[in-house]
Structure 1
Amino acid sequence: MVKRIPDEEQIKLGIRTLDFNIPEDHISRFVVDFIDEYYPLLGIKENKKKKGRDSFPVKEMLKLLIYAKIEHIDSMRFLADMVKYHDVYKFVGNGICPSERSLQRYREKYGKYYNELLKATLKKASDVDYTDFNEVSIDGTIKKAYNSKNKVITEKETEILTRYFEGGRVSQEELDKLHKPAREILENKKISNQEKLYLLDDIKTQFTLSGQKSVPVTDIEARWMKSKKGNSQISYNIQSAVDYDTKMICAINVVQAPTDHYQLPKIVDKAINNTNVIPRFVLADTIYLNEESLSYLADNQINGVIPDRKQSKEKIGRLNKNPYHKDHFKYFPEIDAFECPEGQIMYFFNKYTEKNDDLDKPDKIKRLYSNYGACKACNCRENCLSSTQTHRTITEYGGSLKKAMWEKMETEEYKEEYAKRSSVEGPFGILKEQFHIESEVVIGKTKTEERILLDAVAYNLIRLFNLEQEIKNDKEDIVDFCEKISVQEKLEVRATIF
């Protein structure tokens, strides 16, 4: 950019580059350098227009979108203003001035490359030896979907509307009983009846897939889920894998399942694909402890670190206060038996398989332990048994893999390893509190995942930048200390600082 600079003696013509006002250690420089270095790995082919103005360069647009996320800007209207007037955004975008509509279009069109950008951040961390991805923690959280909990349609209403638009017989009384969301579909004149039938057919599919009693109309792929406060809301389940050493996000997986039970294989697969490393340890909480997860870890020769319910409660000091609760029955793996609070041994006596309603999930294995004779002669029967019980039975779920996991989690080595699992909580908190993922206006499972991946890319770049600054600062601090001692003590300090 050319600008005239007034001077007391004469008028001088000065040349200033776009970065003249940007500090050398500013994060915007780090973002620009990162995209310049790793953009070729994305393999994006830009088609040039034969007519009209050329499209905005994708590389510069990605820089703007990522840097805007780092600054927690989600409004493309606000970003369009910033690229016109703010020096940092002019530098990041290399002087381009896209409109709000162009920014929105590029953000959606190139969403499929956000996971590749996430891979690039992980490659950068590996290239500079910040981590070897030995320990990966996984966890899930729910994100509220862009759909009011009142804007839902029932299966019966879907059937009535389908019959009506297909020309079938529908009474006026049935139409009058429709709730507001269903009536909006009925009275909407902006779309044809055929398009309404396509929408209703998609809603029917979601009823089949979800098994739930109602489907949201705005975002039909979202599901009813319970928040940590116990409230039901229309949400998506966000699975995340986080590296312990750098606290960087290794993978994001958006699913429709209301719980985390069977999500471990998918999120760990994504983490392995993104890092090109099979982790030595995968750390997860109790909800992931099942035969499917344990079989996956065993097949891939990964050390799982997953406590059972009792071990988890014991760690946080929340064992049941009732002394005769199952929490206070001690297990002895060497003889495969339990000891009750009164010191009696309860032996294994039966095992059977319980069919899982979901054909894609493995059957449940139940193991039963009891000691009828000891219970019959026990003086504490009234405290331990209900009025209908003749003896106490302990039921354990899972086979040999779960038993082996329990034994591992009783050792100090694995207890210390599990203490590192909390590293997965930090990124979730930052994405919710600083990146405001709950308020992002995005519809559909795929688009939701793409937007959160963009947040994850911005988060990872902040982590990389901070790690780089920490190393530089540590080195500068040591140099300053050495120089200070040298001057004060009048000594010649010889040191090599790496």
Structure 2
Amino acid sequence: MVKRKFDKNQTKLGISTLDWNVPKDHISRFVGDFIEDVFPLLEIDEPKKKKRREPLPLDSMLKLLVYAKIQHIDRTSIIADMARYHDIFRFVCDDIRPSERSIQRYRREYGRYFEVLLQMTLKKAFDEGFTEFNHVAIDGTIKKAYNSNNNTISKKETKILVDYYEGRPVSPESLEKLHKPAQRILEKKDMSDEDKLELLYGIETQFTFTGQDRIPVNDIEARFMKGKKGNYMVAYNIQSAVDYDTKLICAINVTQSPTDHYELPAIAKKAIQNVNTKPKYISADTIYLNQISLSYLADEKIEGLIPTRKQSKEKIGKLNENPYHKDHFEYDYEQDAFKCPENQYLHFYAKYTEPHKDSKKPVKVKRIYNNYNACKNCNARTKCCASSQTHKTITEYGSELQKAMNHKMEKQKYKDEYAKRSSVEGPFGIFKEQFQIEKEVVVGMIKTEERINLDALAYNLIRLYNIKQEIENTTEDLEDFCESTSIKNQLQLTATIF
């Protein structure tokens, strides 16, 4: 065997285009075509620099940022290298060579357009007949903020530092007793006194706004929230609305609320705005079942699907084992009474209202059900009632709207529709496992929402691409079947494939 020795200095001529190494059905082509189609609709006035070189084309930068996110690349240094050396990245971004700092700046300055592009993916899905957004499911999760749990400052320490920088007398002992986060503010040399005072004013505002005892120093808009494992962390509450038919994300809303209780109206409004239509059904889990959510759904004439705590526990087989627990008392909607395990009815007795701790929230409605005579003569009273009780009392919270929702969710038709709600869980899992949103270095509620919208945009483009590929592959399979059948049986077969 003769081995040929190549001349490293040999010059070769050839013609190659940017897409020479990109497969025809590659997702990079789909992303590039999508951005090019919708970019004029964004109507962005790109600033023109004087005396300096022309700015990088924004449409090319958007393609690069979106495609990098699809490939789960978040570090700007890696994105810059890929744009310079990787064939597919060069094709996507039209062979521009942005620096690491340029990528950081474009992602920061034009992050507000990610939500608009997200809206465009939903419009494309609707225009191509993939969905009509009949059922939108809502859920929430928390995202750890870029701030340690220990890097927080108290109200007292904030007041000491404000007094110090405003020129009021502060004893050296009180400055020495400050904890490390407050000490770091005091000792920070790359920050002017005016900037430190502005930061402290912002922290004071957050104390007033959130009612927390301590505020994170690095990300003052984040809040302490309880995770699924029961641990508390500095985080943001991420609300998501997902279309059942396509599993596309319809909206993202980032809030400071530590729980999901009153977040349905805000995320539902965003979803309706983004899809440009009202869904027939909006489903959510039990934590959203309250007067604010129900009033919103009633006002918007949307069929809400929100089960009670008992209905949720029944679905997963976790009703209380005690046969005389409230879980085993059946509510009779016609009689407005609870039927106990001994077939006795506890009738409506009285209704009370309790003011909410937050004056902006509606009052709580409490309804009492009991039957003193039935309990007095019942043989199971000692099993059903505590030793200090003379009779059983059932307490129900909620207005007439909640009663109507409870009744509706007992019907099989709505149970079957609500079963579709599980579609909302998928995107959150992909966000955390594949897009690694917990590792994204973002500070502030607005910037966090912009970055999550970029994640959602990348996710939606992957979903649209996969849906189109499934349809095209299915069509090709049918065409091949028709052609092979026609040849095999020597028949002229005419078929229309949609």
For normalisation by structure 1, the TM-score amounts to 0.96
Equivalent residue number for residue 237 of structure 2: 237
Equivalent residue number for residue 398 of structure 2: 398
Q: Distance in 1 between matches of 2:186 and 2:150?
A: 17
Structure 1 residue 372 corresponds to structure 2 residue 372: yes
**Equivalences for residues 93-492 of structure 1 within 5 A:** 93-492=93-492
Q: Distance in 2 between matches of 1:416 and 1:490?
A: 47
Q: Distance in 2 between matches of 1:382 and 1:147?
A: 53
- Spell out, residue by residue over 1:93-129, the C-alpha distance to the aligned partner (whole angstroms, 9 max, x if none): 1111010000100000001111100000001101101
- Spell out, residue by residue over 1:312-356, the C-alpha distance to the aligned partner (whole angstroms, 9 max, x if none): 111111101111111011100001000112221101011121111
Structure 1 residue 57 corresponds to structure 2 residue 57: yes
Q: Distance in 2 between matches of 1:187 and 1:458?
A: 41
How far is 1:196 from its partner?
1.9
Q: Which moved more, 1:229-238 or 1:197-206?
A: 197-206
- Spell out, residue by residue over 1:142-190, the C-alpha distance to the aligned partner (whole angstroms, 9 max, x if none): 0000001110111121122222323334334323322110111122222
Identical amino acids, percent of aligned pairs: 64
Q: Distance in 2 between matches of 1:318 and 1:43?
A: 54
Whichever residue aligns with residue 86 of structure 1, its letter is H
Q: Distance in 2 between matches of 1:494 and 1:54?
A: 56
How far is 1:426 from its partner?
0.4
Equivalent residue number for residue 3 of structure 2: none
Q: Distance in 1 between matches of 2:187 and 2:223?
A: 25
**Equivalences for residues 28-107 of structure 1 within 5 A:** 28-107=28-107
Whichever residue aligns with residue 63 of structure 2, its letter is K
- Look up the SS of the partner of 1:252 in the other structure: strand
Whichever residue aligns with residue 88 of structure 2, its letter is V
How far is 1:459 from its partner?
0.4
How far is 1:205 from its partner?
1.1
- Spell out, residue by residue over 1:428-458, the C-alpha distance to the aligned partner (whole angstroms, 9 max, x if none): 1111110000100000000000000001000
Q: Distance in 1 between matches of 2:472 and 2:112?
A: 34
Q: Distance in 2 between matches of 1:132 and 1:332?
A: 37
- Look up the SS of the partner of 1:164 in the other structure: helix
Q: Distance in 2 between matches of 1:355 and 1:376?
A: 33
How far is 1:469 from its partner?
0.2
Compared with structure 1, are the counterparts of its residues 11 and 56 closer, same or farther at alpha carbon in structure 2 (3 Å cutoff)? closer
Unaligned ranges ≥5, structure 2? 1-5
How far is 1:45 from its partner?
1.1
Unaligned ranges ≥5, structure 1? 1-5
Q: Which moved more, 1:288-297 or 1:368-377?
A: 368-377
How far is 1:389 from its partner?
2.1
- Look up the SS of the partner of 2:148 in the other structure: coil
How far is 1:13 from its partner?
4.8
- Spell out, residue by residue over 1:269-301, the C-alpha distance to the aligned partner (whole angstroms, 9 max, x if none): 000000101010001100000011000000000
How far is 1:12 from its partner?
8.0
Q: Distance in 1 between matches of 2:278 and 2:367?
A: 33
Q: Distance in 1 between matches of 2:299 and 2:118?
A: 27
- Look up the SS of the partner of 2:349 in the other structure: strand
- Look up the SS of the partner of 2:14 in the other structure: strand
Q: Which moved more, 1:367-376 or 1:441-450?
A: 367-376
Q: Distance in 1 between matches of 2:162 and 2:389?
A: 53
- Look up the SS of the partner of 2:451 in the other structure: helix
Whichever residue aligns with residue 240 of structure 2, its letter is S
Paired residue total: 490
